[in-house]
Amino acid sequence: MSIRRSTLPAAAAGLLLLLAACGDPGSGGGTADPTSGGGAEGTVCEPIAGQQLVVLEDDEGLQNADNIIPAFNAAAAEADPEMVALLDTVSESMDTDKLIQLNKAVDIDRQTSSEAAAAYVESEGLAAADAAVGSGKSVVVGAANFSESATLGEIYAAVLRSAGYTAEVQTIGNRETYLPALQSGQITVTAEYAATLTEFLNTAANGADAEPVASADPDATVEELTTLGADAGLAFGTVSAAQDQNAFAVTEEFAAEYDLTTLSDLAANCGGGVVLAGPAECPERPFCQIGLEETYGVVVSEFASYDFGLIGDAVRNGEASVGLVLSSDGSLAA
């Protein structure tokens, strides 16, 4: 299930992403093959304090492609292709850096989700060219009960209103609650996370032990999602480049000292070991310490357990070399 940062007023606060291979938005996880790492011999990369965190590129695809994608009630999408096209423009406008800035605006700068959404729609020029295409039509935009989902829902609603739709945003709990509402048509559309929803539908259809079908490839993941969604009464718009998934961050100073850009660099240049900060479950989870060790060959010389919301500060304060974060965390903004 999804870890949400304590600096963000996330509804999933206190729930752990790493308890399962799939779960709530932003869960990540992947199936990359092991590669050779730096081994036990080499430089011990001691933590270096600094205020700005940078995410190391997951160049071997440890985490799945949890790209944001609009998920529709299939009947509603078929009946109103103009609605789908409008929300596709949101996907086309957004990448992870912009998502980070949206989260910063709400979770750090304390704007409301509607305020941040309005500013984003204006800055990206997303208002509809035809203000009457949705005249007389009503849309209910669903949102999970954490701030990123609320902000994305407000962006969807603002774009639809600009086209003449009557659009409201309803916050409807977690995926187990809002997905049936989407399937039934109680809500029309919601912002979803491609890999996590793929595995949610996969296990629902094929059992808890179903072979995973999501991967680090967004296009391949969406292909699987579309197939599973068709049987579940769902349809999907364009997948965005914006991702909310597990990531590993270091300070800028640490990256510069050890010449790091990717997780492969971390393994190669810090072969003597690093101090890893993560939630208590991290050493036992394939998308946390086990993944770093088996996929990349990273040597974890010491593990430091923190509540998820404190991991970033542990790295900033020089208590850990590298820490598990979410790739869209607003605190990553430069």
pLDDT category, 60, cuts 50, 70, 90?
very high
Distance of alpha carbon 303 from alpha carbon 290, whole angstroms: 12
Architecture of domain 68-236: Roll (3.10)
Strand partners, 323: 249, 277
| CATH 3.40.190.120 segments of the chain | 31-63+245-332
pLDDT at residue 334, rounded to an integer: 84
Exposed e or buried b per residue across 317-328, where buried means at least 16 C-beta atoms within 10 angstroms of its C-beta: ebbbbbbbbbbb
Average pLDDT rounded to a whole number, residues 122-132: 97
**Residue 327 confidence (pLDDT) above 60:** yes
**Residue 11 confidence (pLDDT) above 50:** no
Question: In terms of pLDDT, which residue wins out, 42 or 69?
Answer: 69
Average pLDDT rounded to a whole number, residues 109-131: 97
Q: Kindly report, residue by residue over 237-288, the tens digit of the pLDDT.
A: 999 999 999 999 999 999 999 999 999 999 999 999 999 999 999 999 999 9
| CATH 3.10.105.10 segments of the chain | 68-236
List of residues 6+ apart from 93 with CB closer than 8 A: 124, 126
pLDDT at residue 249, rounded to an integer: 98
**Residue 221 confidence (pLDDT) above 70:** yes
Burial of 33 (0-12, 13-18, 19+ CB in 10 A): exposed
Pick the most confident of 1-15, 26-40, 276-290. Answer: 276-290
Q: Kindly report, residue by residue over 146-196, the tens digit of the pLDDT.
A: 999 999 999 999 999 999 999 999 999 999 999 999 999 999 999 999 999
List of residues 6+ apart from 44 with CB closer than 8 A: 270, 272, 273, 301
pLDDT at residue 41, rounded to an integer: 62
Distance of alpha carbon 102 from alpha carbon 9, whole angstroms: 14
CATH 3.40.1670.10 fits 31-63+245-332, yes or no: no
pLDDT at residue 166, rounded to an integer: 98
Distance of alpha carbon 28 from alpha carbon 295, whole angstroms: 15
**Residue 299 confidence (pLDDT) above 70:** yes
Distance of alpha carbon 312 from alpha carbon 297, whole angstroms: 23
Average pLDDT rounded to a whole number, residues 108-121: 98
Query: Tokens 């809500």 appear where?
Result: 187
Strand-by-strand arrangement of the 68-73 sheet: 166-171, 138-143, 189-193, 68-73, 234-236
